[in-house]
Amino acid sequence: MPRYELIKDEIASIAKYVPGKSIEDIVQTYGLEPSSIIKLGSNENPLGPSPKAVEALIENAQGISIYPSADARELVDAISEYTDIPAANIVASGPGMDGLLDGLARLVITNGDEVVITTPTFSYYEIAARANGATTVYVQREKDFSINVDKLLAAITPNTKIIFLCSPNNPSGNVIPEEDILKIAAATDALVFVDEAYVEFAEKNVAHLVPQHDNIIVGRTFSKAFGLAGMRMGYGIMPEWLREEYMKIATPFNVSTAAMAAGIAALSDIEHLNKSIELAVKGKKFLQEELPFKVYDTQANFVLVDVAPHKARDVTNELLKKGIIVRDCTSFAHAGVSLIRVTIGTREQNEKVVKAFSDI
């Protein structure tokens, strides 16, 4: 018999996290050949990982019987060099940036606190916050998915602990202007978390703001541009005072020996990174020109497509039958029922996507 009474009250009402569909899901449902399936639902890198990261994994395979360094110092130093931000402001996190979100929520949130979330956006902020007792306050983005700063500031109360800002935003791909982030940070005692999971594809980032501000945090990941989603590794750039507190509660050894080796090698392979970015930029142009629906502009490795008057659910199901996995955004709060997020793939994949959408 399930013993639901053991589960914390605040968790009972949380909706399940909805991940992008996996290749295995589609093989099982539609009986397709795994090699024929195009996976463009989770914003992974269509070029795969850097060959240097794969080599580093193999070279370090013998070392996996030994615990990694507890604070991932070698990786932190490599991130510091890559970002030009002092190591004192950096924490490496696992699993992925999700691990960082979880750690921060555990660090600052207790029952009765509030977090502000600008919807539609990445859903794990809400899960991490609510699991620790927070109430979520939604501030809906404008029609073009920009944030109305005055509306956001009006949603802040003395109980607000974290304001989550995703830039470029998942699923819309637009960035938040730096002056807006500064205005929000200056107007609140809460932490302002800027999720830069897709920042390598964007024109600008805000990491440089962190060392001069005591409440701005930037989250990053190796899952997207670096092509290491399976290694589950991210990092946070945060004020020194907060890093010291965070390290008290971070799960020890949360970045594995293997992930660290791959991450350090990936950071050193700027050529692979640039190739990945170029592919996304070219593919974006192609998809914007060729898809027969409204495509929003993006600074990420995905495009948001509005298939109205069709339903996103129906269109994604049609595409799945053809072996193309894209993301139906209906489960994102305030996204409506006609938005689909498509990861920008290789030229060949993009052509197949355009054909499939056009057939519909």
Ligand X SMILES: Cc1ncc(COP(=O)(O)O)c(C=O)c1O
Question: Quick check: 175 binds ligand X (CB under 6 A)?
Answer: no
Please identify which residue in 41, 49, 96, 263 interacts with ligand X, judged by CB under 6 A: 96
Q: Which stretch binds ligand X (CB under 6 A): 96-104, 283-291, 311-319, 329-337?
A: 96-104
Window of 90-98, 176-184, 237-245, 251-259 that interacts with ligand X by CB under 6 A: 90-98
Which H or E run includes 311? none
CB-nearer residue toward ligand X: 97 or 116: 97
- Of 101, 144, 159, nearest in space to 125 by CA: 101
Q: What is the rounded distance in angstroms from the CA atom of residue 73 to the CA atom of residue 240?
A: 15
Q: Which of 129, 197, 242, 291 binds ligand X (CB under 6 A)?
A: 197
Closest distance of CB 251 from ligand X, Å: 14
Q: Are the CB atoms for 92 and 235 separated by under 8 Å? A: yes
Instruction: Characterize the bridge pairing of strands 90-93 and 38-39.
Output: unpaired
Report the nearest approach of ligand X to the CB of residue 87 (Å).
20
* C-beta of 198 vs 357, nearer to ligand X: 198
What residues between 98 and 137 interact with ligand X by CB under 6 A? 98, 122
Q: Residues 37 to 66: which contact ligand X by CB under 6 A?
A: 43
114's tokens: 């509030």
Rule CB under 6 A: say whether 170 interacts with ligand X. yes
Distance CA 291, CA 356 (A): 10
Binding residues for ligand X, how many (CB under 6 A)? Answer: 13
CB distance 340 to 326 below 8 Å? yes
Least CB distance to ligand X at residue 98 (A): 4
DSSP state letter for 233: B
Residue 49 C-beta: closest distance to ligand X, Å: 14
The residue among 43 and 299 lying less far from ligand X, judged by its C-beta, is 43
Task: Pick the closer one to ligand X by CB: 172 or 290.
Answer: 172
User: Should residue 195 be labelled a site residue for ligand X when binding is judged by CB under 6 A?
Assistant: yes
Closest approach, Cβ 229 to ligand X, in A, equals: 6
Do β-strands 191-195 and 160-166 pair in parallel, antiparallel, or remain unpaired?
parallel
Number of H helices, E strands in the chain: 13, 13
Taking the C-alpha atoms of residue 215 and residue 209, their distance in angstroms, rounded to an integer, is: 10
Q: How far apart are CA 191 and CA 104, in angstroms?
A: 10
Assess contact for 252 and 68: CB atoms under 8 A: no
Q: Choose the binding region for ligand X from 79-87, 95-103, 244-252, 326-334 (rule: CB under 6 A).
A: 95-103
CB 207 within 8 A of CB 336: no
Residue among 144, 174, 125, 140 nearest 302 (CA): 174
- By CB under 6 A, residue 340 contacts ligand X: no
| Beta carbon nearer to ligand X, 82 or 122 | 122
Are residues 329 and 340 in contact, defined by beta-carbon separation less than 8 angstroms?
A: yes
Residue 166 as a binder of ligand X (CB under 6 A): the answer is: yes
Residue 254 near ligand X by CB under 6 A: no
User: Does residue 137 sit in helix, strand or coil?
Assistant: strand
Q: Residue number with the shortest CB distance to ligand X?
A: 96
Query: Would you give the binding string for ligand X spanning residues 210-239, x where CB under 6 A is met?
Result: -----------x-x-----x----x-----
Give the number of other Cβ atoms within 10 Å of residue 20's Cβ: 17
**Which positions touch ligand X (CB under 6 A)?**
43, 96-98, 122, 166, 170, 195, 197, 221, 223, 229, 234
